Amino acid sequence: MGSQLAGLTWHCMVCGDERPDEAISVYHLPIPGMEDQFPGTRTNVRYCNDRPNCTARAVHYNDPEEQAERRRIADQQRMAATKREERKSLWHRLFGPSR
């Protein structure tokens, strides 16, 4: 008889990988600037507990530097996606069926 939790997976909020339940832990981080207005407000950060890089970065999840780094990576991914789309539409203009 299998546990109900078997097969349950989570996305690590640091590396973005989907991991099995036992490989994911949760940090409850205070949110900078929120503590005064909303005491006890926490960010639940899910991270790989078996990857030192994820464990180390999860602690800094709310740091401005870490947020900037995540934005930078997200921007890069968005730009790469945009470039892919542009190449695709260019290809269609040049070689696609004429309308």
Q: Within a 13 Å sphere around the CA of 23, how many CA atoms are in the beta-carbon half?
A: 17
In sequence order, which ranges of the chain are alpha helices (DSSP H)?
52-58, 64-95
12 binds Zn ion (CB under 5 A): yes
Choosing from 24, 45, 54, 58, the residue that interacts with Zn ion (CB under 5 A) is 54
Residues 67-96 touching Zn ion, rule: CB under 5 A, are none
- Of 24, 45, 48, 58, the residue at the interface with Zn ion (CB under 5 A) is 48
Closest residue to Zn ion using C-beta atoms: 12
**What's the CA gap between 56 and 15, in Å, rounded?**
12
Q: Is 13 a binder of Zn ion (CB under 5 A)? A: no
Distance in Å, CB of 71 to Zn ion, minimum? 18
Per DSSP, which regions of the chain are E strands?
Answer: 9-11, 18-20, 24-30, 42-48
Largest alpha-carbon pair distance within the chain?
Answer: 62
For residue 59, what are the contacts with CB-CB under 8 A and spacing of at least 6? 27, 29
Candidate ranges 13-21, 23-31, 59-67, 90-98; the one touching Zn ion (CB under 5 A): 13-21
By beta-carbon proximity to Zn ion, the closer residue of 15 and 26 is: 15
Binding site for Zn ion (CB under 5 A): 12, 14-15, 48, 54
